Amino acid sequence: MNYLVVYSSKSGNTKKLAQAIYDFLPGDKELKPVQEAPDPSDFIFVALGFWVKDGHPDPAAQEYLKRFNEDHQLFLFATHGGALKSEEVEQAMKEAKKLAHKARIVGQFSCQGEVAPEVLEAARSQQPPPDWIAAAEAAKGHPDQADIDNLLHLLEALDLPW
Ligand SMILES: Cc1cc2nc3c(=O)[nH]c(=O)nc-3n(C[C@H](O)[C@H](O)[C@H](O)COP(=O)(O)O)c2cc1C
């Protein structure tokens, strides 16, 4: 088996990106939620997607990220309610890389992902409210086609044996 796409997704945003990556990849490939993901050792390239939870990669993705070694080429992708270039999202991406530090990270991508109204309401009632909700209204409708196009352009530009 050549390519594996694994995603952790609670409300479907990260899954949308995973599906687009899967559709883009040629030939021998597999798409799995993290709960059913196979051992990464059997694949030459793995794309792993997580959602940002309380400033970190979500817990299920964190566990899977620990399973990579030096034989792996890993592409990381994520969705988050907060702003694209926020410090928090950068930190979450850094944390994901640290967890998979043995792997060769070949690229990364993130975009906003729509936040359910009840999640926003719960976050707003926290004291103090988390910084990320300031930009979360703008996440509505994301990931959209432009996000997916950006992701696929990035993948196309990778120097990998597609
Ligand atoms: C419990 C919870 C905590 C969240 N924490 C953050 C956060 O710290 N930063 C952020 O940018 N987005 C946060 N979000 C928003 C999600 O990361 C965002 O909606 C993401 O696209 C969800 O992905 P999914 O649809 O694949 O589950 C949070 C959402 C939930 C439900």
Percentage of the chain modeled with pLDDT above 90: 91
**What would the mean pLDDT of 70-88 be, rounded to a whole number?**
95
Rounded Cα distance between 130 and 154, Å, is 30
**What would the mean pLDDT of 9-38 be, rounded to a whole number?**
97
| pTM of the predicted model as reported, rounded to 2 decimal places | 0.97
Strand ranges, E, within the chain: 3-7, 29-33, 45-53, 56-57, 73-80, 104-112
CB 80 less than 6 A from any atom of ligand 1: yes
CB 50 less than 6 A from any atom of ligand 1: no
CB 56 less than 6 A from any atom of ligand 1: no
pLDDT, tens digit (0-9, with 9 covering 90-100), for 81-114: 999 989 999 999 999 999 999 999 999 999 999 9
Instruction: Find the helix or strand (DSSP H, E) in which 98 lies.
Output: helix 87-99
pLDDT, tens digit (0-9, with 9 covering 90-100), for 113-158: 999 999 999 999 999 999 999 999 999 999 999 999 999 999 999 9
48 found inside a domain:
yes
- Our count of domains for the chain comes to 1
162 found inside a domain:
no
72 found inside a domain:
yes
Residue 63, number of CB atoms within 10 A of its CB: 13
CATH code of the domain containing 59: 3.40.50.360
Query: What is the whole-number distance in angstroms between the Cα of residue 1 and the centre of ligand 1?
Result: 31
On average, the pLDDT of the chain sits at: 95
pLDDT of residue 66: 96
For residue 137, give its domain range. Answer: 3-157
pLDDT of residue 162: 67
